[in-house]
Amino acid sequence: MSIGRRTMITGGLAAAIGLPYATHHGLIPENPLAGLLGDKVGTGFEASNFDGTFNGTRRLEGKDIDGIEAIFRFDITPEWVRSRWSRISIVPAAGKLQGMRVPVVTGTRPDDLAGSLTYYFNQKHQVRRIDFQGITGDDAPLVALMARRFHLRPVPNVGNGIYISSWNGAPLNALRVVQAAPPEIESQNSQLQVALELNWPAAHQGMSSFFQRQLALIR
């Protein structure tokens, strides 16, 4: 990927991290998970170079990702996250979950994603929630993956862009895609804003209060 293209994508990443969602979880300086993360714990995204590399070696948005299928999985471990990103933010969540938040860019095509990706682990270091907030230019591959892997379906009577799957009669997973409001970065890769939350069905914590409020607003 050229420096020019990577600079544009990194700019898109910064815009995605600046979405309203980024303000509803505070960062905490110390955390029980920090010992597991070792020297990879950081405040997030503050030390990237102009071309998107980190200290001239590893890129801010992590190692190359083999498609969006690789990041939306519940078999990911803290070690997997730590091995791919140079800086990881630690964020709290309800139900004794602890999040590892990283910046992610899956590529430079219109259907790639750029934004903030958070894996929430329980005390056994098992993923129990995955959250993505970001941008894309074409949501079709993401929607197809969510339908195939997590059984998300369009919500009737609310228009396009809202997809939900339920567990025991309650919403468990949700995807919301809306047109990005100007002025966004002038790029075909940033035309749509994406909010996604996936929850492990047997974890009993259900959907986050943040996403429950979002769904309540559109019903």
pLDDT tens-place string over residues 185-201: 556 666 899 999 999 98
Q: What is the pLDDT of residue 160?
A: 72
Give the distance between the most distant pair of CA atoms in the chain.
Answer: 50
- Return the pLDDT at 3: 44
Note the pLDDT of residue 212.
81
Residues 72, 21, 178: CA angle, nearest 5 degrees: 75
Range with the poorest average pLDDT among 58-67, 110-119, 186-195 = 58-67
The pLDDT confidence band at residue 122, using thresholds 50, 70 and 90, is very high
139 φ, ψ (degrees, to nearest 5):
-90, 0
Instruction: Please give the mean pLDDT across all residues of the chain.
Output: 74
* pTM listed for this prediction: 0.73
Q: Residues 107, 164, 191, CA angle at the centre, nearest 5°?
A: 35
Q: Which of 199, 168, 23, 169 is nearest to 97 (CA)?
A: 199
Task: Give the list of residues 6+ apart from residue 16 with CB closer than 8 angstroms, or none.
Answer: 114, 115, 116, 133, 134, 135, 190
pLDDT, greater one: 97 or 190: 97
* Residue 134, beta-bridge partner list: 115, 194
pLDDT attached to residue 158? 67
Structure tokens at 207: 């959907």
Q: What is the mean predicted confidence (pLDDT) over 76-99?
A: 91
First to last CA, the chain: 42
* Predicted confidence (pLDDT) at residue 154 exceeds the cutoff of 70: yes
Q: What letter represents residue 170's amino acid? A: A
